[in-house]
Amino acid sequence: MPQTTGSGSKVSGSTGREVPARLRFVWTSDHSGAIRLLTEDPRLDALKMSLERAPWPTASSARMAFDAHATFVNEALTLEGSEGPLTITISGTPVKGEGGGFEGFRGFGTIALPAAPPKSEPVPKVKSRQTDAEAAPGLSEIERQAFRDIARALGERPSRTSPAQDRDIPVIETVVASMPVAARVEAAAPSAPEPLLATLFDRLPVGVLLSRGAVPILMNETLLNWLDYDTVDNFHISGGIESMFGGRHPARRSPHDDSAMLIRRRDGDTIALAVHLQTIAWGDLPASLMLFERPRERDFEVLESETTEEVSERLSSDDLSAILEIASDGVAVLDHDSRILMLNRSAEALFGYDSDDVEGERFIALLNEESRDRITSYLETLSGTGVQSLLNDGREITAETRQGGKIPLFVTIGRLGDSVQSKYCVFMRDMTNVKRAERDLIEARRAAEIASARKSDFLARISHEIRTPLSAIIGFAEIMQEERFGPLGNKKYKDYLKDILTSGAFVIDLVNDLLDISKIEAGRAELDFQEVDVNGVLVDASSLLQEEARRARVILRMSLESHLPGLMADKRALHQIILNLMSNAIKFTPEGGQVIVSTTHSAEGDVIIRVKDTGIGMTDQELTTALEPFRQLSTSRKSGGTGLGLPLTKALVEANRAAFSIKSARNAGTLVEITFPPTRVLTP
């Protein structure tokens, strides 16, 4: 029976003639086209020299495919060798880098060898480069030969009738996950492996996984047994490649990281395997070939020793001790009888004692008298089994230092274990800065309250001193204006008396506003909260301002919601609020403008009062100024006023537990909204 050798010697056919054998070689090239042979064989020296001189004939189909970065298969080339023409058949596929850039080509080929010497003459042994499979320990010669056959089968491609037919085949990254693996293998594999080859493939001592994207194509029996799967279909349905690596795909590791990885099995456990990843061509498309092997005995022992219990033990004995020493908070460990076992450095700095000096002492000995009972009850609570033992919210105590000083501490204690002899861990935080800040805030608040009280007293005294002579002035002016004791004689006297009465009324209003603001700021405003009909207050206020609006030729309009619920508010304050807002709106609205007063009841239960005008408006800066007491705009000075209108109105609104909002724009008018929350709205 005729046989074909893989060494390149002649093969005897059925006719008895000897035909030239072909030697297979593997090659690669860079992006410029320079070819480098990867197969080491003296019989390829002539080919190597020829390829170095002129690797690609100009008019060849292989050259055109290379320039187009397209795959080509079984292209016949004739090269000029040192001893005559060389006939080769070559196949190749483009290689892309991580960024998708073209880096060159990779492929294989065959070359026709010259006639071999007669059979009687010994055939010289050919040294070939030892492959990884041949160098792997524990493989027999049969297994090595099977591994070489598998590698060759994975790298071969079927011949094509026309090279141009497959040059535009796109690179498929993933395959439909629901497609059966058998169908994927049938569609992707060049041909089914022979039974003997498949048997040897499954019996390899290394795990083999061929995949494209996240879809497995082939797995051998060794890897399936390691991962506890029956078939490659079950492996894919159970999560496949993503599940086995747990998000740590070997392609994402550093190229210098050759350590073993923890691979997840079907039952959730992990197994340590060394993973080797490379890209090969499968069915004219790139695929990922992963080889898995057990780590060496030394590495396996290291991995097995890295158990969670031992890591935790090392952390508790070494690392945790270092953590306690560098912690900024003080830490103390107590025994079941609340005696000190150790203090960390921060705790030593707090109390001024070394850990050895206080070891065995009761922890409460470091506290003042008031704090000792508090800590004792705290420890008793933690040692119990009731609900109180779960409510561990800490305690504030005062510690006594070695030098005699006192330090405020916030202490949290935790119980270490559930037995009767359990220890306690005490965490202590120095509250000196916090207490100092609280003390400063309290002192600042007290000073502000004192200043406010003094201001209120001053305004009350001033108002009393002003009211007495001012009332006399206004009274005498009214008597003179009425001419009760005879005529004044000159008409100008009446004009002067009118100015006196107007100025006196202005001063009285100013004093009243000052008193109201001071009372509100001091929280001593006397408000009488009662049920108030909002619409009724608005109607009363508008009737009082109708004459003022008529003189200013401003239209006063009202849009009141019917069945509006009542409010719990101070009626006098609400009346003053509406009068101030409507009076300001009329004052700063030019002739022909409008002032619209409306009420509404929102879906959230709020009652909203709106006062909108079409007046001159204010900018944001002017609005900020208008809300400050005694600050007046240029327009306000022309129209008169004290600068207390808006600040007093806002203060009265907030005193009635409502929200004050104002929006304005230059030459676009002003909108003021007063919102009473549902808590101030009475249910109808």
Quote the tokens at residue 416.
Answer: 């270490």
Residue 532: which H helix or E strand, with range? Answer: strand 529-532
Quote the tokens at residue 199.
Answer: 């048997």
CA distance 207 to 303: 19
Residues 6+ apart with CB under 8 A from 23: 8, 41, 43, 44, 110, 111, 113
The pLDDT tens digits of the residues spanning 262-279 come to 888 988 888 888 888 888
Residues 6+ apart with CB under 8 A from 452: 518, 521, 522
Average pLDDT over residues 649-658: 88
Residue 546: which H helix or E strand, with range? Answer: helix 534-551
Is 2 or 115 the better-scoring residue by pLDDT?
Answer: 115
Q: How far is CA 230 from the centre of its chain?
A: 41
CA distance 208 to 223: 6
Residue 596 has pLDDT above 90, yes or no: yes
CA distance 510 to 512: 5
The pLDDT tens digits of the residues spanning 288-322 come to 888 898 876 544 444 445 444 544 444 556 677 77
The pLDDT tens digits of the residues spanning 399-441 come to 988 888 889 999 998 888 777 778 889 999 999 898 899 999 9
Average pLDDT over residues 188-193: 45
Report pLDDT for 195. 63
Residues 6+ apart with CB under 8 A from 577: 649, 652, 653, 674
Report pLDDT for 21. 67
Q: Structure pTM?
A: 0.37
Within the chain, all domains assigned CATH 3.30.450.20 are found at: 166-305, 332-427
Report pLDDT for 297. 52
Residue 211 has pLDDT above 50, yes or no: yes
Which contacts qualify for 402-405: CB closer than 8 Å, 24 or more apart? 402/351, 402/352, 402/353, 403/352
Do the Cβ atoms of 602 and 565 come closer than 8 Å?
Answer: no
Is 433 or 194 the better-scoring residue by pLDDT?
Answer: 433
Is 321 or 652 the better-scoring residue by pLDDT?
Answer: 652
Average pLDDT over residues 485-502: 83
Q: Which stretch of 21-25, 333-337, 520-524, 530-534 has the lowest confidence by average pLDDT? A: 520-524
Report pLDDT for 638. 47
The pLDDT tens digits of the residues spanning 140-167 come to 555 555 555 565 555 444 333 333 333 3
CA distance 143 to 559: 98
CATH class of the region 11-115:
alpha beta
Average pLDDT over residues 569-579: 89
pLDDT bracket for residue 117 (50, 70, 90): low
Buried b (16+ CB within 10 A) or exposed e, 494-505: eeebeebbeebe
Is 154 or 618 the better-scoring residue by pLDDT?
Answer: 618
Report pLDDT for 524. 63
Report pLDDT for 660. 93
Within the chain, all domains assigned CATH 1.10.287 are found at: 436-521
Count other Cβ atoms within 10 Å, centred on residue 332: 24
Report pLDDT for 663. 92
Report pLDDT for 41. 80
Is 457 or 620 the better-scoring residue by pLDDT?
Answer: 620
Report pLDDT for 610. 94
What is the third-level CATH fold of 436-521? Helix Hairpins (1.10.287)
Average pLDDT over residues 561-579: 89
Count other Cβ atoms within 10 Å, centred on residue 412: 15
Q: In what order do the strands lie in the sheet with 261-264?
A: 215-219, 207-212, 285-293, 270-282, 261-264
Is 171 or 562 the better-scoring residue by pLDDT?
Answer: 562
Do the Cβ atoms of 273 and 292 come closer than 8 Å?
Answer: yes
Buried b (16+ CB within 10 A) or exposed e, 507-520: bbebbebbbbbbbb
pLDDT bracket for residue 116 (50, 70, 90): low
The pLDDT tens digits of the residues spanning 437-475 come to 999 999 998 888 888 777 777 777 777 777 778 888 888
Residue 416: which H helix or E strand, with range? Answer: strand 406-416
Q: What Rg do the C-alpha atoms of the chain give, in angstroms? A: 49
Q: Which stretch of 54-58, 108-112, 340-344 has the lowest confidence by average pLDDT? A: 54-58
List the end-to-end C-alpha distance of the chain, in Å, as a whole number: 110
> Residue 383 gets which letter from DSSP?
H
Residue 336 has pLDDT above 50, yes or no: yes
Report pLDDT for 123. 43
The pLDDT tens digits of the residues spanning 350-388 come to 888 888 888 888 898 899 888 998 888 888 888 766 544
CATH, domain 166-305, list 3.20.20.120, 3.30.450.20, 3.40.640.10, 3.90.1150.10: 3.30.450.20
Residue 33 has pLDDT above 60, yes or no: yes
Average pLDDT over residues 559-580: 89
Strands, E assignment, 202-265: 207-212, 215-219, 261-264
CA distance 31 to 460: 96
Quote the tokens at residue 239.
Answer: 């999560």
CATH, domain 332-427, list 3.30.450.20, 3.90.660.10, 3.40.190.10, 3.30.390.10: 3.30.450.20
Architecture of domain 529-680: 2-Layer Sandwich (3.30)
Torsion angle of the four alpha carbons 310, 316, 319, 320, in this order, in degrees rounded to the nearest 10: 160
